[in-house]
Amino acid sequence: MRKLDTSRLVIATHNAGKLKEIGALLAPYGITCLSAGALGLPEPAETGTTFVENALIKAHAAARAAQMPALADDSGMSVAALGGRPGVYTADWAERQWFEGEPGRDWYMAMGKVEGMLCQLGPEVDRSCWFSCVLAIAWPDGDSVTYEGRVDGTYRWPPRGTMGFGYDPVFVPKGRDVTFAELAPEEKHRISHRADAFAKLVKDQFTA
């Protein structure tokens, strides 16, 4: 796989928290992260139907616009019994409609949608689910590499815990008995889908 040949990398996110997290992960390897938001780069529409496609769309758009290598991530929750949904539509499922108040995202409503659809399949339904994270690095010449991370678990109702984000309160990782939202952030970040993808990226990009 192609390796990074510069010490500067554009992070294709307009989310300050994500930029900080990725910056901290890559600093030990001598990489300086620049924010696509701060560079004034546009946010492309995520029109892909897979995490890989969406991560590549974002990485290529940033790399072309900035004329330097760019890193993007795309992630979401997939439920086996729902054919992998919400998947790439994880964030869309959390969008409120007009009659539900101000525009924005309601993750409890989104978690409830999935729970309702699981209940429709009966009390014995398979509650296997997983978080996916795809990291894509793209170069201005159009080249790219991707790394996929995943953490498997179970969809548990009712939601529990106050830490984390999104579907964390209903996700019980395999081998544990608490949800991602009940785990200390450092413990979650050790086993998360994003940690898995970053470990693969680091192994590939930063080891001889």
Residues that bind a second copy (CB under 8 A): 85-86, 89, 92-93, 97, 99-100, 106, 108-117, 119-120, 123, 157-159
Annotated binding residues for substrate, written as ranges, equal 13-18, 75, 165-168, 188, 193-194
Decide whether 99 or 103 has the Cβ nearer to a second copy.
99
What's the Cα-to-Cα distance from 114 to each of 82, 94, 105, 157, rounded to whole Å? Answer: 8, 11, 15, 10
Decide whether 110 or 172 has the Cβ nearer to a second copy.
110
CB of 172 to a second copy, least distance (A): 16
Evaluated on CA atoms 24, 75, 187, 18, the torsion sign reads positive
204 has catalytic annotation: no
Decide whether 139 or 171 has the Cβ nearer to a second copy.
171
Of 73, 74, 106, 177, which one is the catalytic site residue? 74
Cβ pair 51, 74 in contact under 8 A: yes
Q: Which residues, in sequence order, are CB contacts of 131 under 8 Å at separation 6+?
A: 75, 76, 77, 78, 150, 151, 153, 167, 171, 192, 193
Annotated binding residues for Mg(2+), written as ranges, equal 74
Instruction: Return the active site residues.
Output: 74
